[in-house]
Amino acid sequence: MTGPEGKLHWEHYAAALLLSAMALIAFLNILGRYLFHYSLAFTEEITINLFVYLVVVGSGLAFEKGSQLGMVSLFNIFPPRWKKRVIFLGALLSAGLFLAVDILLIQLIYYELTIFKATSPALGIPVWIYYLPLPPLSISVFRGIYQGARRRAESIRR
């Protein structure tokens, strides 16, 4: 699975690493359950958070490849000069949505550090630690939105 230019980006490696870690953790939990009759319940907490990270990185890859949800039937009725504007508007709205999510995440991290101080149920880790990688990982989403919109706009002929 390569990027549009035929080379792998850090997002591809991150997605592979996250998915591999999730599979390894699940496999170790299965081994623990059936061989040692001991369930590693805390692994669910780790796996869920790794899945969230994988979804963020995967969203960036989907935007880059143009695999995100869209209204293709509506888009196809526009003349070529309007299609570029619609692509730009869609990219702007998508980036705005993820920017809002990032702002809310940063606020949530701040509140968790200062006010709530909640801990995770299984491991007792402060939950802000689980939230912390999400804003930096969303860089892949912004990059994917930009790359995907640029490629789609360039492919449209006037």
Q: Say which residue the tokens 């960036």 belong to.
A: 60
* DSSP sequence for 22-54: HHHHHHHHHHHHHHSS---THHHHHHHHHHHHH
- pLDDT per position in the chain (158 positions), as tens? 455 567 888 999 999 999 999 999 999 999 999 998 888 888 999 999 999 999 999 999 999 998 877 778 888 899 988 999 999 999 999 999 999 999 999 999 999 999 999 999 999 999 999 999 999 999 999 999 999 999 999 998 75
Query: In angstroms, rounded to a whole number, what is the distance separating the alpha carbons of residues 30 and 25?
Result: 9
Look up residue 84 and give its two tokens.
């570029």
- 12 SS3 class: helix
pTM of the model: 0.89
CA gap 24, 44 in Å, rounded: 12
pLDDT value at position 70? 79
Which pLDDT score, from 0 to 100, does residue 7 have?
A: 80
Helices assigned H by DSSP within the chain: 10-35, 42-65, 72-76, 80-111, 128-131, 134-137, 139-155
Q: Is the dihedral of CA 118, 123, 125, 129 positive or negative?
A: negative
pLDDT value of residue 3: 57
Give one DSSP letter per residue of 58-70, joined into a string: HHHHHHHHT-S--
> Across the strands, what pairs with 119?
126
